Structure 1
Amino acid sequence: MGAVLKPATPAELAEMIAAAEAPLEIIGTGTRRHIGHPVQAAATLDMSGFSGIIAYEPEELILDVQAGTPLAEIETMLAARGQQLAFEPPDFSALLGAAHSGSIGGLVASNLSGPRRIKAGAVRDHILGVHGVTGAGNAFKAGARVVKNVTGYDMPKLVTGSWGTLAALTSVILKVLPAPETEETVVLRGLDDAQAVEAMSLAMQSPCEVSAAAYVPDEAVYLRLEGIAPSVAYRRDQLGRVLKRPIEVMAAKSSATTWKAIRDGAMFAGNPRHPLWRISVAPSDAPGIISALRDKLDIRYLFDWAGGLVWLEVPPSHDATEALVRGSFRAGHGTLVRAPEATRAAVNVFQPQEAALAALSARVKDAFDPRHILNPGRMYRGL
């Protein structure tokens, strides 16, 4: 195991990166460390020292926080003021066998969002600013607590979802939103895959403001409504008329528990040896993906984002059945979120890029990290 570098200040971080002569693996709490190709690094850059709230302005709905701050700490603070991270960050600790739900910097680096993404957007849509250090050892800041129109590259959005391959983040500025007063979940039972997607599509196209839509096979379709109690009750009745099916209603406490399990992929946590994919496609394509795979593999699956996100668990194999999985959809992208290290080293963990996009990614990598020392190869080999 290589050396562990733990900077305490941005200046110290910049010095360490500038002086590095071999690749560095960036980690915060390490929760998502095993998503992506294994990083062959000479040393680990431990970012957990960058922890704490810089500024929280509840009235302005702005949070400025150091990147190593635990996500659980942030969510507790926001909840005390009746606010939330509206993109509903998932907690993959049980799924990946980690001890913590992760840091805010790791969340931004991964751009992972939960069920409310279909209504509120992804992490990338809520990021206002970042501070960090590039692979060249240059400190930078982009964005601000004040939302304004600017020209040039939107660097906060660019580094969001880059998995630490472009820069080591020291702090992030996020937009927060009021938490809903209450929630209910409308439940539909007895539907097959195609009927479930059809029902979810009807719900999302309605004026009922559904904040999440998911389907657990052989169980139910779940449609969440959030807001003030009278509005939720009115929209629930309207949704029942739109769907033209018998419905059940799940009250707030049970609703919250159900959506936490869907958000975190809890149904897949019990099989840690089984590779797990998250496939983002057009909702109408989701039933076809399952149909194409069901006769060839012993699979388990879940539809989130009204069918736009397919969680897919496949049997253990040396290649996570990559060819079959990627061959099951023509448009979209699939990410292998759980697999043994040897498997992750052998397959494309992230969706392979077309030539033009791969060339653009290479130019961006060269601009931010010309020596290719930050998490090299984690997303794509050679970058």
Structure 2
Amino acid sequence: MTPIHEPLSEEAAARLVQVAALSRTPLAIRGGGTRGLAAAPDGAETLSTRGLAGIVAYNPAEMTMTARAGTPLEVVEAALAEKRQMLAFEPCDLRGALGSSGIPTIGGVFATNASGPRRFVAGAARDSLLGVRFVNGRGEVVKAGGRVMKNVTGLDLVKLLAGSHGALALMTEVTFRLLPVPETATTIVVSGLNDAEAAAAMATAMAMSVEVSGAAHLPESVRGRFAGGALPDGTATVLRLEGLAASVAVRSQKLAASMARFGAVTHLDAETTARLWREIRDVAPYADGTPRPLWRVSIAPTAGHQLVAALRLEAGVDAFYDWQGGLVWLRMEADPEAALLRRYVKAVGGGHATLLRARPEVLAATAVFEPQAEAVAALSARVKASFDPAGLFVSRMVG
């Protein structure tokens, strides 16, 4: 059985890394175990952040929080809820879609840059990260950033670590900014649009001064699996508005009037809106208990429907769209078709395709992340060598 280390302090974690460096023992960093993409290599030992838990500081007036990396996300969100504050980027919970268990951690959220439907207007997880403490591959404790939005090093270590999947360092503590919880929310549903028409409707909505905070398109194949069947018949193009009740009422009327030229328009109340966008965030239609390949594709909003249309000519695929069409969730019916998918991603202008789910042997044989261009790969290698010269950190952190 692979040894699992659970240090209870940053100092203990640093000593473990120092010992591993001396013995050249690979380390696989683990948070809550909810986002694993592949098994750790043979011979690697697991370094868990579970013992590095607890909220260090919370300043509601300045809307910042500092927490140790292993702090369960639910603990962070419960503390924020008491002050009606939230994480702006809506961290996704993919346990259902990935068939995983465990408890998501705040360090895992930032290590995987887990960002939900509000990401295209509020930024990704990394954009909320202000500071981080971490242990590098030499076993040294390093602090980057702080509790204000300032970078004094000339190299933004905070942004480098966010989304690094534990391949650069062990994050031990994170400081991040917050936003107030909106007073209310509503969703405008435009029914009956095909994928291309939905892309045009969402682009029109985003160009308006109504502050849309969520824009997604749910084809007929998935529409009935959202919001407990509360969505009208036909495809559903959904647009979320949030804020003060009076403002939301005015903006929703303006948006509905504009969308009426695209198709039939209905409104969802705040409770149904919350459920719908939580399910969009967590990829609920594909939490189907199967190993059918699941891809997360980031692409230009106007290109998402073109990608899916091209794929449907050659492979069995189901899909829905978030981020105004810029995030495509693709479920393949049989093989991952990695080469085909990435060829079409390049053909429609480029993007990033990440294989999140497949049978273990398929994951092991497939490039999970989009292959990097030669120049980017060379830069990544230099960054890796700077953080982790011995190459100790061998796997992606699971949150």
TMscore range, shorter length: over 0.9
Q: Which moved more, 1:76-85 or 1:93-102?
A: 93-102
**2:230 matched to which residue of 1?**
none
Q: Is the alpha carbon distance of 1:63 and 1:146 closer, same or farther for their aligned partners in structure 2, counting shifts above 3 Å?
A: same
**1:240 matched to which residue of 2?**
256
2:38, 2:360 within 8 Å by CA — same for their partners in 1? no
Query: Is residue 171 from structure 1 mapped to residue 173 from structure 2 by the alignment?
Result: yes
Counterpart of 1:169 in 2: which secondary structure? strand
Question: For residue 281 of structure 2, what is the amino acid of its counterpart?
Answer: R
Counterpart of 1:48 in 2: which secondary structure? coil
Q: Which moved more, 1:45-54 or 1:334-343?
A: 334-343
Q: Is the alpha carbon distance of 1:101 and 1:114 closer, same or farther for their aligned partners in structure 2, counting shifts above 3 Å?
A: farther
1:37, 1:349 within 8 Å by CA — same for their partners in 2? no
Unaligned ranges ≥5, structure 2? 221-234
1:336, 1:349 within 8 Å by CA — same for their partners in 2? yes
1:88-141 deviation line (CA, Å, top 9, x unaligned): 000111112222451000111000100000111001110000001011111101
Counterpart of 2:67 in 1: which secondary structure? strand
> How big is the shift at 1:315?
2.0
**1:349 matched to which residue of 2?**
368
> How big is the shift at 1:41?
4.3
Counterpart of 2:29 in 1: which secondary structure? strand
Q: Distance in 1 between matches of 2:151 and 2:307?
A: 41
Unaligned ranges ≥5, structure 1? none
Structure 1-normalised TM-score?
A: 0.95
Query: Is residue 328 from structure 1 mapped to residue 344 from structure 2 by the alignment?
Result: yes
**2:379 matched to which residue of 1?**
360
Query: Is residue 252 from structure 1 mapped to residue 270 from structure 2 by the alignment?
Result: yes
1:182-241 deviation line (CA, Å, top 9, x unaligned): 000000100000001111111111101000000110230110000001100101111123
Select the residue among 322, 326, 332 that pairs with 1:314: 332
Structure 2-normalised TM-score?
A: 0.91
1:151-177 deviation line (CA, Å, top 9, x unaligned): 411111110000000000111000011
**2:25 matched to which residue of 1?**
22
Question: For residue 16 of structure 1, what is the amino acid of its counterpart?
Answer: L
**2:242 matched to which residue of 1?**
226
Counterpart of 2:214 in 1: which secondary structure? strand
Select the residue among 62, 81, 84 that pairs with 1:82: 84
**1:369 matched to which residue of 2?**
388
**2:198 matched to which residue of 1?**
196
Counterpart of 2:315 in 1: which secondary structure? coil
Q: Is the alpha carbon distance of 1:137 and 1:149 closer, same or farther for their aligned partners in structure 2, counting shifts above 3 Å?
A: closer
Q: Distance in 2 between matches of 1:163 and 1:174?
A: 18
Q: Is the alpha carbon distance of 1:140 and 1:149 closer, same or farther for their aligned partners in structure 2, counting shifts above 3 Å?
A: closer
Q: Distance in 1 between matches of 2:44 and 2:359?
A: 21
> How big is the shift at 1:316?
3.0
Q: In percent, how many aligned pairs have the same letter? A: 45
Q: Distance in 1 between matches of 2:289 and 2:319?
A: 13
Counterpart of 2:90 in 1: which secondary structure? coil
**2:287 matched to which residue of 1?**
269
Q: Distance in 1 between matches of 2:373 and 2:101?
A: 36
1:92, 1:101 within 8 Å by CA — same for their partners in 2? no
**1:9 matched to which residue of 2?**
9
Question: For residue 15 of structure 1, what is the amino acid of its counterpart?
Answer: R
**Number of residue pairs matched?**
375
